[in-house]
Chain A
Amino acid sequence: MKTYAEINKRIEAGKAVVMTAEEIIGYVEQHGLEPAAQEVDVVTTATFGPMCSSGCVLNFGHSTPKIRMSEAWIQDVLVYTGLAAVDVYLGATQLRHGDPANMYHPGEFRYGGGHVIEDLVAGKTLQLFALSYGTDEYPLRELRTYFTIQDLNQAIMLNPRNCYQNYNVAVNDSDRTLYTYMGVLEPNRKNANYCSAGQLSPLLNDPLYETIGVGSKVWLAGAQGHVYAEGTQHAGGGPRTERGLPTGGAGTLALTADMKQMRPEFVRGVTFRGYGVSLAIGIGVPIPILSPDVLKRTCVKDRDILAPVVDYSNDYPQNTGRVICHVNYEQLRGGEIEVDGKQVQVGSISSYKKAHEIAELLADEIRRGEFLLAEPHAPLPPDRTMKPLPRRPEQKP
């Protein structure tokens, strides 16, 4: 048994033994669980993919004369101004003003909130346009100016839901092409798309939330950030395999970090034809090897993890809850799965290559003593389930 303090001491001394969630599998098979648990301090996990429910808080500072922004746009993308005079929230899925959306289906959605966030982190010059009704102390009623991330007082990413523990494999049982947030789905189950880093994914390496909790340190697109809450729709109480691995979405994390420290290659705007825009982001989460049990769970393999195959033509939109079958990530990564006796070609929405790269980068930072771990101050709730939204008639008083 090790403590966070002991592990951090070894990291600070540059003596920590760190492996990625992929490397650890072979290492434990070779050396045995108990000796490996003594030796290894940290296992790094990672994921890179579109993460809706992402965004950022920006503070612009004050112009002369001052303005209390009541409506504002960055690169013509609407930001939320109902916070304070010059604080705004920019959401990843916000469309650009004038985007025809799906008026001519499937819409192209070339630029939106996720792309503004990408451009911001890449250091590009962006346009701010703001309107106000004017007040005694904030008299300016219209402002157009140009800025980069370095001009801002704060640019803080604030993502209410990232890192889904597991996710659906999307197929299309209808006879027309579907354009979804799970990509383009050809008719009659011609293809299937999945979205998870599988054996590298953070919450699949800590399925019972023994080390990842509120307050845990994370690597968010290169910046050191942390888990600030359970993610929205966090529902760890769903069905699980014998090893405790969820067979559906399950847990999520709410993450935050300073955008000025982020690396542009891990913050990328996403265009889903016919669906909209989003943000793809790279996340790394270190797991402290506190005990052999914790280590054992980081040895999870793709073939152990089951994902539900879901029809996105009817079952998903109509919220029926039906799962066609389960497949494992080894099959998915192999490029072909069998559904109802039929072979289906598989594509991915999540990048395993980037996840791999992030796990290595984080491991290196820890080895160099530059990234310390933090003990969570509250666990993620283990038994929550997902509530639906009932459509109720108006209640007469």
Chain B
Amino acid sequence: MFFFPKCECEKPIIYHLVKDHNLKVNVFRAKVTPEEEGYLVLDLTGTEQDIERAVDFVKTFNVTVNAAGKGLTWDPERCTHCGHCLTHCPTHALYIADPATREIAFDEVKCIECLACIRVCTFNACASAF
């Protein structure tokens, strides 16, 4: 996840990631408004070296890079493990970790940030960073 502080939004960063760093870019979700803070959640595919160079390049724009995090968070404390979300999560990022107790877990890697869980969760266990 990239966090853009104010005023770094007018540069074609994605263009440079593809053109100069040979990366395949899959944008899950973005909110980039001129004159405001912005977020961009994306998946980068390429060699480790290219990705490392690309991240260094992005950081020169004062962009905060959160390599592990997604813009969607699941709070295991607020979750009651009811399972209402299961049929609405298209990639099974929210899934039953233990069939005996029907405990729910969240696999962040599988999440494509469709936000369906936020729409359906009755306990407000899922939240978006933006």
Contacts and interface: CB of A to CB of B under 8 A. Distances in A.
Given A347-B83, A351-B80, A354-B81, A184 B88 contact: yes
Contact of B119 (A192, A273, A335): A273
B95 to A, nearest CB: 10
Given A183-B84, A191-B87, A353-B81, A348 B102 contact: yes
Contacts of A190: 87
Contacts of A345: 86-87
A168 interface: no
A183 B102 contact: no
A263 interface: no
A272 B122 contact: yes
Given A271-B122, A273-B120, A191 B80 contact: no
B84 A335 contact: no
A347 B101 contact: no
B56 interface: no
B88 A347 contact: yes
B85 interface: yes
B84 A348 contact: yes
A184 B83 contact: no
Contacts of B124: 110, 271
Contact of B83 (A110, A268, A271, A348): A348
Contacts of A192: 87
Interface string A322-351: 000000000001010000000001111111
Contacts of A272: 122
Interface SS of B by simple majority: loop
Interface string B5-24: 00000000000000000000
Given A50-B122, A280-B80, A353 B103 contact: yes
Of B83, B119, B124, chain A has the most CB atoms within 10 Å of the CB of B83
Interface string B117-130: 00110111000000
A270 B123 contact: yes
Interface string A350-380: 1111101000000000000000000000000
Contacts of B122: 50, 183, 270-272, 280, 349
A112 interface: no
A48 B80 contact: yes
Contacts of A356: 101
Contacts of A110: 124
Interface in B78-127: 80-88, 96, 101-104, 119-120, 122-124
A49 interface: yes
Nearest to A185: B87
A354 B76 CA distance: 13
Given A49-B82, A191-B88, A351-B80, A184 B120 contact: yes
Given A347-B84, A347-B85, A347-B87, A353 B123 contact: no
A193 interface: yes
B83 to A, nearest CB: 4
Nearest to A270: B122
Given A347-B87, A353-B101, A353-B102, A183 B81 contact: no
A114 B82 CA distance: 17
Contacts of A347: 83-88
Most A CB within 10 A of own CB, among B87, B101, B122, B123: B122
B120 A183 contact: yes
Interface in A38-52: 48-50
A45 to B, nearest CB: 16
Contacts of B104: 353
A343 B84 CA distance: 18
A50 B87 CA distance: 19
Contacts of B120: 183-184, 273
A27 to B, nearest CB: 16
A327 B81 CA distance: 22
A185 to B, nearest CB: 10
Nearest to A111: B124
A49 B101 CA distance: 15
Given A348-B82, A351-B83, 9 more contacts: A50-B122, A191-B88, A271-B123, A345-B86, A346-B87, A348-B86, A351-B82, A352-B81, A354-B80
Closest 6 CB pairs of A and B: A353-B81, A191-B87, A348-B83, A347-B87, A345-B87, A352-B102
Interface of B: 80-88, 96, 101-104, 119-120, 122-124
17 contacts: A49-B82, A191-B88, A193-B87, A270-B123, A271-B122, A273-B119, A347-B83, A347-B86, A347-B88, A348-B82, A349-B122, A350-B82, A351-B83, A351-B102, A352-B101, A353-B81, A353-B101
